[in-house]
Amino acid sequence: MSKYDEIDFEKVSLQLQQQVEKDPNNVKLRNELAIVFMETNEYEEAFFQLQAAAEIKPSVQTLYNLAYFYFTEGKRILETISSTKETRCSEEEELVSYTWEMADKEAFDIVEELLKNKPGHYFIYNLMGEMYIKKEKYEEAINVLKEGINLTPSLENLNNLGLCYYKKGMLPEAAACFHKAHPLRSCNNYSLFPLLSYGICLAQLGRGSEAKAVAKELLMLSEREEEELESSIAEIYYILGDYEEFVNIYSKLDWDFCSEELLPTYFYSLWKLSKTKEIEELTSKTIQRKEKEMKEVLQDPDEEEDFKEEYEEVTTEEIAFIKNAVREVYKGKAPIIDYKPEVETRCYLYGCFRHTNSNPNYFSI
């Protein structure tokens, strides 16, 4: 437990609200209050404070924090709903409620404008990089992430630059970025995915001994930190054609809780090792379990009919997928791993005390 978990945020919130009432144009106070509101899950109030701060004093800090909120939480939309006769006090009375929707465009427009002034802190570049990646505009993301890295290299911007290179088929460049990202793990981001992506790249580049060394390190870290990445780490061995080590890892998985999408590569590896008996046993066991679960759902009088129909359709498709996977493997067709690097992110909110984020000045732009 960190020291911030011991803070009485409700009390702090009341204190800050009183200070804002006395000094309503103090955007620093409004920013702090917004952050506290987010700690107490009062996102409507947080949104209001960030909006107000940006309107009172448009600055890199106030505008950026509003953009960050737009991108991560969306925006509040007012809905006006006519009241029913039972609840109506007058003919004109209406019920007012709010809903939330994505606000990526609003966030993008603000950050794009801020970047024209070449801000001197990397948060803004990192966030814009994520926005471009979400749009699958990898060349644009590469350019903006490089600017952020020039200011401050971080696990996030180096990993995401590697992701862009990977998507463009530039494996050596991707591997170099993932390799640089991993040592930058910190209390704000302990992710093992950059190292995993590095191992995958090495395997795809045919750098077998290096890739296996990374896989061993990942298995150790995954176990120590209880990350449960074994099935993903095993893909390094599969790409290298080390089916024995791949099977060694996969044979320890609890298949009652694993997705059937993991089965094709396991079946193929078993087939390459002439272990067809294991394929047949796991196939039979998995299909029988799914059929039993489906029967229980269909016979449950408390379940909705729509849910039963959907469950039966999905389970039937899963069983067909498993049977087809076995057929394809017995034909000698090797399943292809479609690895997708993870986008790395963290809290980029200026002034967030939980994550000890820095805060630029509040001068107007």
- The H or E element containing residue 150 is helix 138-151
> What is the per-residue pLDDT for 92?
47
> What is the per-residue pLDDT for 82?
52
> What is the per-residue pLDDT for 75?
86
pLDDT digit string, tens, across residues 17-34? 999 999 999 999 999 999
By the 8 A CB rule, do 202 and 217 touch?
no
What's the mean per-residue pLDDT of the chain? 92
Angle at the Cα of 175 from the Cα atoms of 173 and 177, rounded to 5 degrees: 70
Q: How many domains does the chain have?
A: 2
pLDDT digit string, tens, across residues 161-174? 999 999 999 999 99
User: Residue 1 CB: number of other CB atoms within 10 A?
Assistant: 5
Four-residue CA torsion sign, 29, 32, 34, 37? negative
Return the DSSP state at 295: H
Q: How far is CA 50 from CA 6, 144, 299, in A?
A: 25, 25, 52
> What is the per-residue pLDDT for 328?
97
Angle at the Cα of 204 from the Cα atoms of 198 and 205, rounded to 5 degrees: 90
Angle at the Cα of 248 from the Cα atoms of 260 and 224, rounded to 5 degrees: 90
C-alpha radius of gyration, the chain, whole number: 26
Q: Is residue 264 part of a domain?
A: yes
By the 8 A CB rule, do 196 and 179 touch?
no
> What is the per-residue pLDDT for 277?
97
Q: In this structure, what CATH number is given to the domain that contains residue 29?
A: 1.25.40.10
Q: Is residue 143 part of a domain?
A: no
Q: Is residue 124 part of a domain?
A: no
Residue after which a domain boundary falls, among 40, 70, 103: 103
Burial of 45: CB neighbours in 10 Å, binned 0-12, 13-18, 19+: middle
Q: Is residue 246 part of a domain?
A: no
Q: Is residue 141 part of a domain?
A: no
Q: How far is CA 174 from CA 160, 195, 222, in A?
A: 9, 12, 22
Burial of 239: CB neighbours in 10 Å, binned 0-12, 13-18, 19+: buried
3-state DSSP assignment of residue 274: coil
Give the range of the structural domain holding residue 64, as residue numbers without chain letter: 1-84+92-103
- The model carries a pTM of 0.89
Residues of the chain with pLDDT > 90, as a percent, come to: 82
Residue 196: pLDDT over 80: yes
Q: Is residue 240 part of a domain?
A: no
> What is the per-residue pLDDT for 9?
83
* Confidence at 95, pLDDT banded by 50, 70, 90: low
pLDDT digit string, tens, across residues 324-360? 999 999 999 999 999 999 999 999 999 998 888 888 7
- The H or E element containing residue 157 is helix 155-167
- Over range 141-160, report the average pLDDT: 98
